A and B are shown apart, each in its own frame.
Chain A
Amino acid sequence: MKVGYFPGCSQTGTAREYDISLRKVVENLGASFDEVKDWSCCGATSAHVTNHKLASALAMRNVMLAEQQGLDDMVAPCAACYNRLVSSQYEMKKHPEVKQEVESVLETKFQKDLKVMNLIELFMKIGLEKITENRKEELKSLNVACYYGCLLVRPAEITKFDDAEQPTSMEKLVELTGAKTVDWNSKVECCGAAHSIARRDIVVELSKKIIDDAKRHGANVMVVACPMCHTNLDMRQTIMKRVFPEYKEFPVLYLTELLGLALGMDEKELGIDLHTVKFNYNELAAEKATV
């Protein structure tokens, strides 16, 4: 099975372990990627909060390239890119004048209706049974808090995916690895998103609340599907430790890394050693057994 791939800027740098683990897992499950050639930034937060025309055109340039390449669908593993792409498509469908505007900027006509998938939809397309069939490790020692953030399932009328308040699709995937999932309150709360640099204080406060809630509900790891959330929840723990001396580190994994571990790959192969907070499954399992 061949699937279109729009990596997004983070996958080439700050979240390169997300790209590494995603490619390995997809290959292991018998699928392959057709990367959108010469893709560019989706515009991210900075475009849509300052200039809506620019935001739509930057996002749709990539949909245009994917369509010209003959793709019918593509995955955008970054929840923020995914959201920008599906929102721009939605705006164009709903408002003919927006469609006209974007087409005039890009000097093109959109004929097809390319399907943009988020990470979970990708695995649904590949087939959840493939994960069970290829599983090498049962990750029994993990109690996972599945974190969706605010962009993966919202707004419901645009993403048309799962439930906007109580999503469960990630739990279903995670449970295929043999791990347990916890019921908790913060799975769709915001981590502070693009304020990571300009307002670190907000990000640290929001992200710590999310981590504290996961801990309170018995989780020993959090799983995410967004590079921006990962930066805030993993890297910003350095500041949490500095500001709150009693703060205890908490590992945050990409969903693809968790799947990779279940498929028999090790931490180094998956790029987990690139995280700020260290994670090693065997060490955690041994620690849990002695408690």
Chain B
Amino acid sequence: MTCSSRCPQEFDLAKFMDAVRETAIEKGVKVKDKDIITFHKAFLNQIKSFGRAYEVGLVAEYKLKTMHLFDDVDSSPGMLLKGKLKVLPHNIKDKESVKKIFKKTAKK
């Protein structure tokens, strides 16, 4: 947001970058740093399944896909003990309505 709000020409660079990324994904452009897109996909998969973010599922999927298996092994046990990471996902009642949003906005 910093670049967008500071641009003297009022050009919304942040939004422009979003559009470029979206187009790149659509066209299947190969990226050097795959971890970021893997993270976003894993995050959205949790939302599609449960309606809300599910950190344990997100991290598990992200780690398996990127093979960064041992990142954050120091902070995760503490977060579990503090109740900050829930072992089970937070399911919303009307999960179908969220699945439908994903279906209706999916790229052809």
A40 touches B52 (CB 8 A): yes
Q: Using A16-B84, A40-B51, A198-B36 as known contacts, say yes or no to A50 and B44 having CB atoms under 8 A apart.
A: yes
B48 to chain A, nearest CB (A): 10
Q: Judge whether B92 is part of the interface by a CB distance below 8 angstroms.
A: yes
A172 to chain B, nearest CB (A): 21
B40 touches A238 (CB 8 A): no
Q: List A contacts of B107 (CB < 8 A).
A: 51
B92 touches A39 (CB 8 A): yes
B50 to chain A, nearest CB (A): 9
B44 touches A151 (CB 8 A): no
Instruction: For A50, give its contact among B4, B25, B90 (CB under 8 Å).
Output: B25
Q: Judge whether A197 is part of the interface by a CB distance below 8 angstroms.
A: yes
Q: List A contacts of B79 (CB < 8 A).
A: 14, 235
In angstroms, Cα B36 to Cα A189, docked, is 21
B22 touches A50 (CB 8 A): yes
Q: Judge whether A154 is part of the interface by a CB distance below 8 angstroms.
A: yes
A13 touches B86 (CB 8 A): yes
Q: List B contacts of A188 (CB < 8 A).
A: 2
- Label chain B's interface by main secondary structure: helix
A54 touches B74 (CB 8 A): no
User: How many residues of chain B are within 8 Å of chain A by beta carbon?
Assistant: 51
In angstroms, Cα B5 to Cα A151, docked, is 11
Q: List A contacts of B43 (CB < 8 A).
A: 44, 46
A105 to chain B, nearest CB (A): 5
Q: Judge whether A61 is part of the interface by a CB distance below 8 angstroms.
A: yes
Most B CB contacts (10 A, CB to CB) among A9, A156, A165, A197 go to A197
User: What string of 1s and 0s marks CB contacts (under 8 Å) between B35-73 and chain A?
Assistant: 111111101100100011101000100100000000110
Q: Using A39-B92, A150-B2 as known contacts, say yes or no to A49 and B47 having CB atoms under 8 A apart.
A: no
Q: Using A9-B52, A50-B22, A61-B98 as known contacts, say yes or no to A189 and B2 having CB atoms under 8 A apart.
A: yes
* Interface set of A (CB-CB < 8 Å, partner B): 9-10, 12-16, 38-41, 43-54, 57-58, 61, 83, 104-106, 150-151, 154-156, 164-165, 188-190, 194-195, 197-200, 235, 238, 274, 276
* Interface set of B (CB-CB < 8 Å, partner A): 1-2, 4-6, 12, 17-19, 21-22, 25, 33, 35-41, 43-44, 47, 51-53, 55, 59, 62, 71-72, 74-75, 78-79, 82-86, 90, 92-94, 97-98, 101-102, 104-105, 107
- Extra inter-chain contacts (11) besides given A49-B17, A49-B18, A235-B79, CB under 8 Å: A39-B92, A51-B105, A52-B22, A83-B1, A105-B104, A106-B101, A154-B4, A197-B71, A198-B33, A198-B62, A199-B35
